[in-house]
Protein backbone atom coordinates (compact mmCIF):
# COMPACT_ATOMS: atom_id res chain seq x y z
CA UNK A 1 0.00 0.00 0.00
CA UNK A 2 2.82 2.42 0.85
CA UNK A 3 4.49 1.73 -2.48
CA UNK A 4 1.25 2.46 -4.28
CA UNK A 5 0.87 5.77 -2.48
CA UNK A 6 4.46 6.70 -3.27
CA UNK A 7 3.95 5.92 -6.95
CA UNK A 8 0.74 7.97 -6.96
CA UNK A 9 2.54 10.96 -5.46
CA UNK A 10 5.32 10.73 -8.03
CA UNK A 11 2.84 10.51 -10.88
CA UNK A 12 0.85 13.42 -9.44
CA UNK A 13 3.97 15.55 -9.28
CA UNK A 14 4.81 14.71 -12.87
CA UNK A 15 1.33 15.60 -14.01
CA UNK A 16 1.51 18.86 -12.08
CA UNK A 17 4.76 19.74 -13.79
CA UNK A 18 3.22 19.10 -17.15
CA UNK A 19 0.02 21.10 -16.61
CA UNK A 20 1.93 24.15 -15.38
CA UNK A 21 2.60 24.80 -19.03
CA UNK A 22 -1.10 25.57 -19.50
CA UNK A 23 -1.22 27.85 -16.45
CA UNK A 24 -3.77 25.73 -14.65
CA UNK A 25 -1.75 25.81 -11.40
CA UNK A 26 -1.10 28.88 -9.22
CA UNK A 27 2.58 28.89 -10.17
CA UNK A 28 4.66 28.62 -13.33
CA UNK A 29 8.24 28.74 -14.56
CA UNK A 30 9.43 31.72 -16.60
CA UNK A 31 10.50 30.81 -20.12
CA UNK A 32 12.77 32.92 -22.28
CA UNK A 33 14.32 36.35 -21.74
CA UNK A 34 11.43 38.55 -22.83
CA UNK A 35 10.95 39.94 -19.29
CA UNK A 36 14.55 40.44 -18.25
CA UNK A 37 15.90 41.85 -16.10
CA UNK A 38 12.79 41.71 -13.88
CA UNK A 39 12.02 38.06 -14.60
CA UNK A 40 14.73 35.66 -15.67
CA UNK A 41 14.34 32.26 -17.39
CA UNK A 42 14.00 29.55 -14.75
CA UNK A 43 12.40 31.74 -12.10
CA UNK A 44 9.33 30.34 -10.38
CA UNK A 45 6.47 32.87 -10.13
CA UNK A 46 3.17 32.73 -8.22
CA UNK A 47 0.02 33.72 -10.07
CA UNK A 48 -2.33 35.97 -8.13
CA UNK A 49 -5.98 36.19 -9.07
CA UNK A 50 -7.00 39.38 -10.89
CA UNK A 51 -10.36 40.37 -12.41
CA UNK A 52 -10.40 41.97 -15.86
CA UNK A 53 -11.71 45.26 -14.45
CA UNK A 54 -8.72 45.54 -12.10
CA UNK A 55 -6.07 45.32 -14.81
CA UNK A 56 -4.20 48.60 -15.42
CA UNK A 57 -1.21 49.71 -17.42
CA UNK A 58 2.08 48.58 -15.90
CA UNK A 59 0.74 45.31 -14.44
CA UNK A 60 2.56 42.13 -15.38
CA UNK A 61 -0.27 39.82 -16.25
CA UNK A 62 -0.29 36.10 -17.01
CA UNK A 63 -2.39 34.97 -19.97
CA UNK A 64 -2.73 32.10 -22.41
CA UNK A 65 -1.94 32.38 -26.10
CA UNK A 66 -4.16 31.08 -28.88
CA UNK A 67 -2.66 27.91 -30.50
CA UNK A 68 -2.71 29.55 -33.94
CA UNK A 69 -0.62 32.45 -32.63
CA UNK A 70 1.72 29.99 -30.90
CA UNK A 71 2.48 28.32 -34.19
CA UNK A 72 2.60 31.55 -36.15
CA UNK A 73 4.85 33.60 -33.84
CA UNK A 74 6.46 30.84 -31.82
CA UNK A 75 4.96 31.83 -28.47
CA UNK A 76 4.71 29.74 -25.34
CA UNK A 77 1.28 28.45 -24.25
CA UNK A 78 1.36 30.78 -21.20
CA UNK A 79 3.05 34.21 -21.19
CA UNK A 80 3.74 36.83 -18.51
CA UNK A 81 4.12 40.29 -20.10
CA UNK A 82 3.57 43.86 -18.98
CA UNK A 83 0.37 45.73 -19.94
CA UNK A 84 1.09 48.72 -22.16
CA UNK A 85 -2.48 49.72 -23.08
CA UNK A 86 -6.03 49.05 -21.87
CA UNK A 87 -8.71 48.92 -24.59
CA UNK A 88 -12.31 49.40 -23.49
CA UNK A 89 -15.14 48.29 -25.80
CA UNK A 90 -18.75 47.22 -25.68
CA UNK A 91 -17.61 43.55 -25.50
CA UNK A 92 -15.37 44.31 -22.52
CA UNK A 93 -11.82 45.34 -21.81
CA UNK A 94 -8.78 43.97 -23.70
CA UNK A 95 -5.08 44.69 -23.37
CA UNK A 96 -1.94 45.24 -25.36
CA UNK A 97 1.18 43.77 -23.82
CA UNK A 98 4.93 43.87 -24.31
CA UNK A 99 7.95 42.09 -22.88
CA UNK A 100 10.38 44.38 -21.05
CA UNK A 101 13.29 42.99 -23.03
CA UNK A 102 11.41 43.07 -26.39
CA UNK A 103 11.55 46.09 -28.69
CA UNK A 104 7.90 45.93 -29.77
CA UNK A 105 4.49 44.99 -28.51
CA UNK A 106 3.00 41.57 -28.88
CA UNK A 107 1.30 41.13 -32.29
CA UNK A 108 -2.06 40.35 -30.75
CA UNK A 109 -4.56 41.66 -28.21
CA UNK A 110 -5.13 39.84 -24.95
CA UNK A 111 -8.83 39.09 -24.37
CA UNK A 112 -10.51 38.76 -20.95
CA UNK A 113 -11.08 34.98 -21.36
CA UNK A 114 -7.34 34.49 -21.75
CA UNK A 115 -6.46 36.27 -18.49
CA UNK A 116 -5.04 34.05 -15.68
CA UNK A 117 -3.95 36.67 -13.17
CA UNK A 118 -0.91 38.74 -12.42
CA UNK A 119 2.61 37.97 -11.26
CA UNK A 120 3.02 37.91 -7.50
CA UNK A 121 5.97 36.51 -5.57
CA UNK A 122 8.88 34.99 -7.47
CA UNK A 123 11.68 32.52 -6.54
CA UNK A 124 14.85 32.53 -8.63
CA UNK A 125 15.96 29.36 -10.43
CA UNK A 126 13.36 27.15 -8.76
CA UNK A 127 11.50 26.77 -12.03
CA UNK A 128 14.45 25.20 -13.90
CA UNK A 129 13.37 21.60 -13.08
CA UNK A 130 9.87 22.45 -14.28
CA UNK A 131 11.27 23.79 -17.54
CA UNK A 132 13.26 20.59 -18.04
CA UNK A 133 10.28 18.31 -17.47
CA UNK A 134 8.13 20.48 -19.75
CA UNK A 135 10.53 19.81 -22.64
CA UNK A 136 10.44 16.71 -24.85
CA UNK A 137 13.62 15.40 -23.28
CA UNK A 138 12.16 15.94 -19.82
CA UNK A 139 8.96 14.10 -20.69
CA UNK A 140 10.94 11.11 -21.99
CA UNK A 141 13.13 11.15 -18.89
CA UNK A 142 10.09 11.32 -16.60
CA UNK A 143 8.43 8.37 -18.33
CA UNK A 144 11.58 6.25 -18.15
CA UNK A 145 12.24 7.19 -14.53
CA UNK A 146 8.71 6.40 -13.45
CA UNK A 147 8.81 3.07 -15.27
CA UNK A 148 12.10 2.09 -13.63
CA UNK A 149 10.83 3.18 -10.24
CA UNK A 150 7.68 1.12 -10.67
CA UNK A 151 9.71 -1.89 -11.74
CA UNK A 152 11.96 -1.50 -8.71
CA UNK A 153 9.10 -1.17 -6.24
CA UNK A 154 7.05 -3.96 -7.78
CA UNK A 155 9.86 -6.25 -8.93
CA UNK A 156 8.48 -9.28 -7.10
CA UNK A 157 4.97 -8.75 -8.38
CA UNK A 158 6.22 -8.17 -11.92
CA UNK A 159 8.36 -11.29 -11.68
CA UNK A 160 5.43 -13.40 -10.55
CA UNK A 161 3.24 -11.93 -13.26
CA UNK A 162 5.84 -12.63 -15.93
CA UNK A 163 6.27 -16.19 -14.62
CA UNK A 164 2.53 -16.76 -14.80
CA UNK A 165 2.39 -15.33 -18.31
CA UNK A 166 5.27 -17.55 -19.39
CA UNK A 167 3.61 -20.60 -17.89
CA UNK A 168 0.36 -19.71 -19.63
CA UNK A 169 2.11 -19.22 -22.98
CA UNK A 170 4.60 -22.08 -22.78
CA UNK A 171 2.46 -24.53 -20.77
CA UNK A 172 1.63 -26.71 -23.83
CA UNK A 173 5.29 -26.88 -24.81
CA UNK A 174 6.35 -27.70 -21.25
CA UNK A 175 3.71 -30.41 -20.95
CA UNK A 176 4.75 -31.88 -24.29
CA UNK A 177 8.39 -31.92 -23.18
CA UNK A 178 7.40 -33.62 -19.92
CA UNK A 179 5.41 -36.26 -21.79
CA UNK A 180 8.31 -36.84 -24.15
CA UNK A 181 10.69 -37.15 -21.20
CA UNK A 182 8.42 -39.69 -19.50
CA UNK A 183 8.07 -41.70 -22.71
CA UNK A 184 11.85 -41.63 -23.16
CA UNK A 185 12.38 -42.83 -19.60
CA UNK A 186 9.89 -45.67 -20.12
CA UNK A 187 11.58 -46.69 -23.35
CA UNK A 188 14.97 -46.63 -21.66
CA UNK A 189 13.63 -48.83 -18.85
CA UNK A 190 12.17 -51.24 -21.41
CA UNK A 191 15.46 -51.27 -23.29
CA UNK A 192 17.35 -51.97 -20.08
CA UNK A 193 15.00 -54.86 -19.30
CA UNK A 194 15.41 -56.29 -22.80
CA UNK A 195 19.18 -55.93 -22.54
CA UNK A 196 19.09 -57.67 -19.17
CA UNK A 197 17.10 -60.57 -20.63
CA UNK A 198 19.41 -60.70 -23.64
CA UNK A 199 22.45 -60.78 -21.34
CA UNK A 200 20.91 -63.64 -19.33
CA UNK A 201 20.19 -65.53 -22.56
CA UNK A 202 23.79 -65.00 -23.69
CA UNK A 203 25.05 -66.34 -20.36
CA UNK A 204 22.78 -69.41 -20.63
CA UNK A 205 23.88 -69.95 -24.22
CA UNK A 206 27.52 -69.61 -23.20
CA UNK A 207 27.00 -72.21 -20.47
CA UNK A 208 25.25 -74.49 -22.95
CA UNK A 209 28.03 -73.94 -25.46
CA UNK A 210 30.60 -74.77 -22.81
CA UNK A 211 28.74 -78.00 -21.97
CA UNK A 212 28.40 -78.78 -25.65
CA UNK A 213 32.12 -78.20 -26.11
CA UNK A 214 32.86 -80.57 -23.24
CA UNK A 215 30.54 -83.18 -24.82
CA UNK A 216 32.26 -82.78 -28.19
CA UNK A 217 35.65 -83.17 -26.53
CA UNK A 218 34.38 -86.34 -24.83
CA UNK A 219 33.11 -87.65 -28.17
CA UNK A 220 36.46 -86.89 -29.77
CA UNK A 221 38.25 -88.72 -26.97
CA UNK A 222 35.84 -91.67 -27.29
CA UNK A 223 36.40 -91.62 -31.05
CA UNK A 224 40.15 -91.77 -30.53
CA UNK A 225 39.69 -94.70 -28.13
CA UNK A 226 37.49 -96.44 -30.71
CA UNK A 227 40.14 -95.86 -33.36
CA UNK A 228 42.74 -97.42 -31.09
CA UNK A 229 40.44 -100.37 -30.34
CA UNK A 230 39.73 -100.83 -34.05
CA UNK A 231 43.46 -100.85 -34.77
CA UNK A 232 43.98 -103.46 -32.06
CA UNK A 233 41.16 -105.64 -33.41
CA UNK A 234 42.66 -105.34 -36.88
CA UNK A 235 45.97 -106.61 -35.58
CA UNK A 236 44.24 -109.49 -33.77
CA UNK A 237 42.35 -110.37 -36.92
CA UNK A 238 45.62 -110.44 -38.84
CA UNK A 239 47.10 -112.75 -36.23
CA UNK A 240 44.14 -115.11 -36.17
CA UNK A 241 43.71 -115.16 -39.92
CA UNK A 242 47.35 -115.94 -40.79
CA UNK A 243 47.85 -119.26 -42.73
CA UNK A 244 50.80 -121.20 -44.12
CA UNK A 245 51.27 -122.33 -47.71
CA UNK A 246 49.13 -125.37 -47.13
CA UNK A 247 46.23 -123.25 -45.93
CA UNK A 248 46.77 -124.22 -42.25
CA UNK A 249 46.82 -121.65 -39.42
CA UNK A 250 50.23 -120.34 -38.55
CA UNK A 251 50.81 -120.69 -34.84
CA UNK A 252 54.08 -118.76 -34.84
CA UNK A 253 52.15 -115.55 -35.70
CA UNK A 254 51.21 -115.21 -32.08
CA UNK A 255 54.89 -115.13 -31.20
CA UNK A 256 55.34 -112.26 -33.66
CA UNK A 257 52.33 -110.41 -32.24
CA UNK A 258 53.51 -111.04 -28.70
CA UNK A 259 57.01 -109.74 -29.40
CA UNK A 260 55.63 -106.64 -31.19
CA UNK A 261 53.21 -105.55 -28.40
CA UNK A 262 54.38 -103.73 -25.26
CA UNK A 263 53.90 -105.34 -21.89
CA UNK A 264 51.43 -104.09 -19.34
CA UNK A 265 52.31 -102.70 -15.94
CA UNK A 266 55.06 -104.60 -14.03
CA UNK A 267 56.02 -106.46 -17.20
CA UNK A 268 52.95 -108.70 -17.20
CA UNK A 269 50.96 -109.68 -20.26
CA UNK A 270 47.96 -107.50 -21.04
CA UNK A 271 44.45 -108.78 -21.45
CA UNK A 272 44.98 -108.78 -25.20
CA UNK A 273 47.99 -111.04 -24.82
CA UNK A 274 46.03 -113.51 -22.71
CA UNK A 275 43.15 -113.47 -25.16
CA UNK A 276 45.39 -114.16 -28.11
CA UNK A 277 47.34 -116.81 -26.21
CA UNK A 278 44.20 -118.69 -25.24
CA UNK A 279 42.93 -118.59 -28.79
CA UNK A 280 46.22 -119.83 -30.22
CA UNK A 281 46.34 -122.70 -27.74
CA UNK A 282 42.94 -123.76 -28.84
CA UNK A 283 44.00 -123.74 -32.45
CA UNK A 284 47.41 -125.41 -31.77
CA UNK A 285 45.86 -128.42 -30.08
CA UNK A 286 43.16 -128.82 -32.64
CA UNK A 287 42.87 -132.48 -33.65
CA UNK A 288 42.87 -132.62 -37.45
CA UNK A 289 42.02 -136.31 -37.44
CA UNK A 290 39.07 -135.90 -35.15
CA UNK A 291 37.34 -132.52 -35.48
CA UNK A 292 37.05 -130.71 -32.17
CA UNK A 293 39.31 -129.45 -29.45
CA UNK A 294 41.49 -131.42 -27.03
CA UNK A 295 40.02 -132.15 -23.68
CA UNK A 296 39.40 -128.89 -21.83
CA UNK A 297 41.61 -129.77 -18.85
CA UNK A 298 44.63 -130.59 -21.05
CA UNK A 299 44.19 -127.51 -23.14
CA UNK A 300 43.94 -125.35 -20.01
CA UNK A 301 47.22 -126.79 -18.69
CA UNK A 302 49.01 -126.12 -21.95
CA UNK A 303 47.53 -122.61 -22.07
CA UNK A 304 48.88 -121.85 -18.58
CA UNK A 305 52.27 -123.07 -19.71
CA UNK A 306 52.17 -120.71 -22.71
CA UNK A 307 51.24 -117.75 -20.51
CA UNK A 308 54.21 -118.53 -18.28
CA UNK A 309 56.44 -118.63 -21.30
CA UNK A 310 55.08 -115.22 -22.30
Asked whether the predicted pLDDT for residue 94 surpasses 90, the reply is: yes
List pLDDT tens digits, range 114-132: 999 999 999 988 888 888 8
Asked whether the predicted pLDDT for residue 286 surpasses 50, the reply is: no
Start-to-end C-alpha separation, the chain? 130
Angle in degrees, CA 80, 86, 89, rounded to 5: 125
Sign of CA dihedral 288, 292, 295, 297: positive
d(CA 249, CA 12) in angstroms, rounded, equals 146
Name the residue among 83, 18, 74, 17 with its Cα closest to residue 50.
83
CATH 2.10.109.10 domain residues, the chain: 2-153
Question: Is 172 strand, coil or helix?
Answer: helix
At 24, the pLDDT band (50, 70, 90 cuts) reads low
Q: Which CATH architecture has domain 2-153?
A: Ribbon (2.10)
Sign of CA dihedral 177, 178, 179, 185: positive
More confident residue, 157 or 86: 86
Residues 27/47, Cβ–Cβ less than 8 Å: yes
Residue 144 confidence (pLDDT): 87
Neighbours of 139 (CB within 10 A): 15
pTM score, two decimals?
0.46
Sheet holding 94-98, edge to edge: 27-29, 44-48, 115-123, 60-64, 78-87, 94-98
List pLDDT tens digits, range 175-214: 888 888 888 888 888 888 888 888 888 888 888 888 878 8
Neighbours of 25 (CB within 10 A): 14
Amino acid sequence: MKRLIFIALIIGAAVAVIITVRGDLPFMAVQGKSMEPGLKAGDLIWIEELSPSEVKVGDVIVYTVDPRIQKLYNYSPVVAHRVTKVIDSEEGASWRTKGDYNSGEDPFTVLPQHLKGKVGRQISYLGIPLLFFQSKQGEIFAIIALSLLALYLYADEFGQGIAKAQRAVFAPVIEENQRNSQMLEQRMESTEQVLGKFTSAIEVYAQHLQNHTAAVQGLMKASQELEKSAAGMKQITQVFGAQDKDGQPRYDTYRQYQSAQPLGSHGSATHGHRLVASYCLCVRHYDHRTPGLLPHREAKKQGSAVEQEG
